[in-house]
Amino acid sequence: MPLSYAAQSEDIVAEEQERSEPENRRETNREIIERVLVGDYVIFRRLALKRLRDRLAADDVLQSFCVKALERAHQLRDENAVHGWLGRLFETTLLDHYRASARLNAKTTPLEPGGPPLEEISGESLSVDESEVVEEVLATLRPAYTQIIRQMDLGRDEPSVIASRLHISPNNLAVRLHRARGAFRDALADTPIALQT
């Protein structure tokens, strides 16, 4: 039995809407991030290899970075700022890797008598260029933020020791550290570190 004109026109309108939806539909944050990650994957991998000089570590950092980017896609507020947002997240992922490596080395590498001073060992995870960038960024922060980052992230003291030294509670220390790291990330985003280098 042939369809009525109304039924046929409804089908035609429905088909046209289905065809036009992909063109008019805006990309979600996750889709935008996926597109940029796929397009810039080679750049991120080259940068990770340059920083870490170890293929396995670079691949681990890159995988962790991609997972974080997709998990935190809802945090992207401006799709035009996706490259800067991903750049900051990449730098944060690298810093997390450096801190984890330093903690692991501190736990697994016993100090030998007559070995290098502790100060030299603690700075091994960052290259000279990266150390300079970190120092330049720290110099731009409020002194309280610089102090807490130096003690928590670059030092070897336990959080409880640092909290008692600063005469604050461990919870207050966690809040201050969170704010200091946020300020550090924001300041790092203004440095001339570019993904293309």
Q: Is the pTM of this model over 0.95?
A: no
| pLDDT for res 128 | 47
**Mean pLDDT confidence for 47-58:** 90
| pLDDT for res 71 | 93
Cα separations in angstroms, 91 against 24, 45, 97, 146: 34, 13, 10, 18
Q: Where are the alpha helices (DSSP H) in the chain?
A: 5-24, 29-39, 41-52, 55-71, 82-108, 118-122, 128-140, 143-149, 159-166, 170-189
| pLDDT for res 147 | 85
Out of 47-51, 74-78, 134-138, 162-166, which region has the weakest mean confidence (pLDDT)? 134-138
How far, in Å, CA of 132 to CA of 64, rounded? 25
**Mean pLDDT confidence for 103-126:** 56
pLDDT band at 166 (very low <50, low <70, confident <90, very high): confident
pLDDT band at 123 (very low <50, low <70, confident <90, very high): very low
Nearest by Cα to 190 from 137, 132, 134, 129: 137
Predicted confidence (pLDDT) per residue in 89-113, tens digit: 999 999 999 888 888 777 665 555 5
**94, 51 in Cβ contact below 8 A?**
yes
| pLDDT for res 132 | 72
Q: Where are the alpha helices (DSSP H) in 53-124?
A: 55-71, 82-108, 118-122
| pLDDT for res 191 | 59
